[in-house]
Amino acid sequence: MANVTVIGAQWGDEGKGKVVDWLASRADVVVRFQGGHNAGHTLVVGGETYKLSLLPSGLVRGKLGVIGNGVVVDPHALLEEIERVRGQGLAVGPENLRIAENAQLILKVHAALDRAREAARGERKIGTTGRGIGPAYEDKVGRRAIRVCDLAEPETLAEKLDELLRHANALLVSLGAPTFARDDLLAELLALAPRLLPFAEPVWQRLDEARRAGRRILFEGAQAVMLDVDHGTYPFVTSSNTVAATAASGAGIAPAAVGFVLGIAKAYTTRVGAGPFPTELTDATGQLLGDRGHEFGTVTGRRRRCGWFDAAMVRQAVKVGGIQGLALTKLDVLDGLAELRLCTGYRLGEETLRHVPAGQRAQAALEPIYETLEGWSGSTRGARSWADLPAQAVKYARRIEELVEAPVTLLSTSPERDDTILMRDPFEG
């Protein structure tokens, strides 16, 4: 049996939460390996809706959840999320949730920097959540981060806070924002230590033992390939690497252990916040997709921009993300549309491109090249086999396979967990 890594193949919000939840019923361990509480997964289970940002989705299925070292952890957000899901009846404690001792913490100063920078950008805002994820990753690579393990060493913690604040407060002053006092942050973190440290351990050891014992590990990605800090539509991206390769470094396991890579894509395209979006629809069809798909961000609450399926972008995500199979979600949102379009490439001036260029101006100037397909009049909602789908819906999915150069191995036809068509079991490799 193979492990499975789930990543987004568009700009996030593809329905990864449902797919991970569906797969988690057959996994033993579910691991978050990058990002922070700027990502959200919505799970609908037995009529109950769970909105998760930091907690691995497998906890809803009673599985062991692991937050890897590649995740940046806001301790307040994590503890609040734990209390919220406990209020919904989930048991969450050190016995079923483990946090990498070398995972980095997001502090209040990081969120303040994030918001101050975004405000200073004015009309050129990137569209960050303002939750401090970017500044926290900056401190990580700048070697001034506060990590979970530092909470057990008050003397080390005080020294590290001095180092961090020398940098952060200088930036806040330049942005006209209030600064932070070392002693206030130190007292806050020492008060949090008894609540966080019971969850901490070298999770790489636990994952190595699980792998050697033949247990199934599911790696749960956040955001998506086109938001990857290297491979996405930079600078309108997240602050971490979102491709499948990051599962290894972000959890502390061998690259070969990431297993089968499943990419999640909606049957159309959405994006939250600023940045290029070649297939965006600002007309009644775009409004219809947003209304039917309930397109509001789990974390931000902002309405998502909607457009036609961009096969050229997803094909690129397949190549750089290491995607071996595609899970196509929200097919039912397209029910009843007389005509559908698939973007097969772009025009950039006199050039024809089959990929998203790296340059910011070039990305903004892309014009989609469309292929038109006939829609279907029947319903796909709740379908659990190919035979349940209208013929044109099957043709649509098959054409996507051809264009993105990856098989559709799983098809989701509603938010409900069991409304899923499985063509290939990812755990079989």
Active-site amino acid positions: 13, 41
Nearest CA among 388, 396, 376, 395 for reference residue 413? 388
The values of phi and psi at residue 376, to 5°, are -135, 150
Give CA–CA dist 390/332, Å, rounded: 11
What SS3 state is found at 39? coil
Helix ranges (DSSP H) in 33-132: 75-87, 108-121
Residue 29: how many CB atoms within 10 A of its CB?
24
Among 263, 392, 266, smallest CA distance to 329 is for: 266
Q: Cα separation of 405 and 319, whole Å?
A: 9
How far apart, in whole angstroms, are the C-alpha atoms of residue 40 and residue 340? 29
The CA angle 413-246-311, to the nearest 5 degrees, is 40
Whether residue 214 contacts residue 199, with contact meaning beta carbons closer than 8 Å, is answered with no
Name residue, tokens 């994030």: 114
